[in-house]
Amino acid sequence: MKKPITIIVIIHNDLQGFSRDELYEKYFSWLITELEEISGRPVLIKGFDKVDVPGLSDFNYRNDDHEAAALGWREKTRALYNSIWQQQNFHSGLVKILLLTRYDINETLWGLIGVTQGVTHFKSYAGIASITSEHIAAHEIGHMFGATHEDSEVRFEGWWQDSIMLTDHGSKFRGNSYRFSDKNRKNIRDHLEKLP
């Protein structure tokens, strides 16, 4: 049997007051189905907050330099990452840690010129995503498994809808298809097929 995909979601302190169940339902329940269909693997998503991980849930993610935020988060989570994947049932390439935040990482002119809603490095184990849009968490997790912007698409299913990896100025006028494009499904599948 293939090893599971494990996504650890650290719920930032600025989301205290939001229900874990509501966050799970809105941002992750549909993603589990999508990733399981693509990979043929079980997908485990576990949420932790300040009670569980007080040294992580207060990470200062808001930064004009989103690269610095990504690198800082990766370093901050290294010990947790190592402790998880070293357990027998897990594989390092299948463990991801996502900081879920209330606010965007940064914005320019109140978001009119630019905004960074999430960040990770390609195929990294650590990422940050805000809840300012329903697909940002899935978008960053997609990058962690090999999905790219270039292979995203707009689909028409009664109305125009973005695949998970598409983010552009027109996105606010289109719906969310809640799926990766066929090309990104292949990218993710190809990446995961190399892992046990």
Rounded mean pLDDT, 101-111: 79
What the block records as the tokens of 119 is 């960040």
Residue pair 101/131 in contact (Cβ under 8 Å)? The answer is yes
Question: Per-residue pLDDT tens for 130-171?
Answer: 999 999 999 999 999 999 999 999 998 889 999 999 987 777
Model confidence at 115, in pLDDT bands (50, 70, 90)?
confident
Question: pLDDT value at position 169?
Answer: 74
Question: pLDDT value at position 74?
Answer: 97
Model confidence at 81, in pLDDT bands (50, 70, 90)?
very high
Helix boundaries (H) for 20-110: 20-27, 29-39, 66-85
pLDDT at 54 over 70: yes
Residue type, 154: V
Question: Per-residue pLDDT tens for 19-42?
Answer: 999 999 999 999 999 999 999 999
What sign has the CA pseudo-torsion 5, 191, 25, 182?
negative
What the block records as the tokens of 141 is 């997790």
Q: Is 62 helix (H, G, I), strand (E, B) or coil?
A: coil
Model confidence at 108, in pLDDT bands (50, 70, 90)?
low
In 3-state terms, the chain is what percent helix, strand and coil (to 5)?
35, 20, 45
Q: Does domain 5-152+182-193 have CATH number 3.40.390.10?
A: yes
Cα angle 64-169-180, degrees, rounded to a multiple of 5: 95
Residue 9: HSE in the Cβ half-sphere, 13 Å Cα cutoff = 23
Residues 6+ apart with CB under 8 A from 194: 93
What the block records as the tokens of 175 is 């719906």
Residue pair 103/132 in contact (Cβ under 8 Å)? The answer is yes
Question: pLDDT value at position 158?
Answer: 87
CB 77: neighbour CB atoms within 10 A? 23
Tokens 């049997």, residue?
Answer: 1
CB 63: neighbour CB atoms within 10 A? 16
